[in-house]
Structure 1
């Protein structure tokens, strides 16, 4: 039963990824219909991400009152209704209205499922969980591109994805009684590992306020710019390919889907690699690959190299987020890990909320040709923050333990 239930959770994470990649690839087709400016997509993105931040910060209280199963069901229902609303929106103001439940629903289900898997399943399932987010994020652009290429109907694409979400809502409704049963039967394989891992944490660290612990702020910088890169690529990648590389909208959408495909495949493979490779090595390798992909976009090369760049950035980003999350208890101690985890998620969503619209605002007053430059800068700052954190640990260890693996 636990395996079946894990599959259900993976399906729920597919539903979380489906809406995340839609706006960016559909916007070139939506923009002329609504008579909106280019940077207006950034406004919608900020509203969605802002709702995600709010629901994430309050998720602990909400989950405590309703339980993970009900929160997941309600959240997916909210996103399904919001996507259906997008497909029928008669004006831009209606997109703004439906962006609110889309963001609120996404944040709650994200926090709920991450916490549930961390509590009831082995750690390497975290990489595969985020892999299934990538499955949804990859399918979204493919579905939209298909409808745009055949009928120039982005609305039908949103309607179809809303239908997929409603099917999952029905499945989640009938599975509600299973959540507590499976939760009670599942063994938390992390408990003993984390107890042993954190047994040697310095007492001064245990008694320090979370934000005062050395290295926390550097970790937050890495999370901020990780999500800045991921979200900026997803939101503005298609517009860059259409307006600068002069690709058809449907082709640009498919190329962006390959970027999400890189994230998906990378996280699937990472789930196995974590058994042998440390989090620190995975994070560094991912950042270097992402930087190489960003340079492919930055250099004045043919459009084919842009496709290579999108795929490399996706592959590079794949292991970074799950590995940074799993490294939190080892870096800062079990006592503070939950609080610091909340800070990290909030800062990550802040990066996704403000950095892509910031680029959109700059691009609207200059040129979207700056897109590759911003991706290079974001990846470089993330890499710098992460390496500074590693240097801090080497010079003056926060704990007496080695870096743990992601398994």
Structure 2
């Protein structure tokens, strides 16, 4: 049985007050809070075996190296990757996308096409624009509909032998839409295109199986799965990672250096130049173990209940419109109230202890599609409650009353 109160007790920050009110934290799409086991693991690293990894023969270095590589194995098992060297530590989702986009300059030429979707975060748009500017390739966009869903009929028509890579998110950060990525991957592969999946918003809610999906790349960030900031994962199929050139040069990513020529290390070190964020990498493994201990089936079921309840309660408010109404969506609600700027509501409800995100959510093309300046986004996690939703809804009603 999933016991939310037992879970909440494991998150120290949830017991604090904000502006004299109990904290209601509904900004999980931006970053999740951290359980005690993660916080303790950070302290344990720095108090027991802080040392640089892979290079030292001394005991602390070996302990740190073993813990770091065990975290890599943990994430390999979590994603069901075939090999542990297909797991590359990065600084986050953005870094993983940039690594792939930069390397794809080797495979893309003028006249080729790079495809993204209308639902993307800026971090899955701008790196591909860089690639197109560098190579002369064309950026092609899969359109969306009024429900915030991708137009799959249009996607199929846009695919061609010119398509070299398709980059789409698993779940939209702005609308919560869960995209049909398996279908996208299969159809892209039929025309010979590679596929990168931005899993930043998906990994807190579900457990992706990269072999079943057959994606070529999958990226996510540690801080959105109850782990530290400054660490993320790029999964890549072995053949693609071997084919891509290194993204950065420096220590660790080399086999031999002379002034005449440098040869590169084998995977995964080829893409992990310099001293990594060791503590964060190790603790990301701790966070993944923690979430698997709760169980992603339990998380998905409970968060769906929160989403259904919050949607029902919010729609009782006059003038409120929800953006992103796909039947297949994660626990994210983006909405506006007629005649009121989203920033004003966000500011007022913060005074009542409620934390939400307002603005364009680094997804300006979505806001342009709906012709709005932004939305109020409430994003729920497995440690939130119905009681918090009630507080949130009352806070929104109060803000509406004050602003009209």
Quick check: which one's strand share is greater? Answer: 2
TM-score, shorter chain, exceeding 0.5: no
Q: TM-score, normalised by structure 1?
A: 0.27
Larger of the two Rg values belongs to structure:
2
By percentage of residues, which structure has more helix? 1
TM-score, normalised to structure 2, is 0.28
**Structure with more contact order per residue of length (Cα contacts < 8 Å, sep ≥ 6):** 1
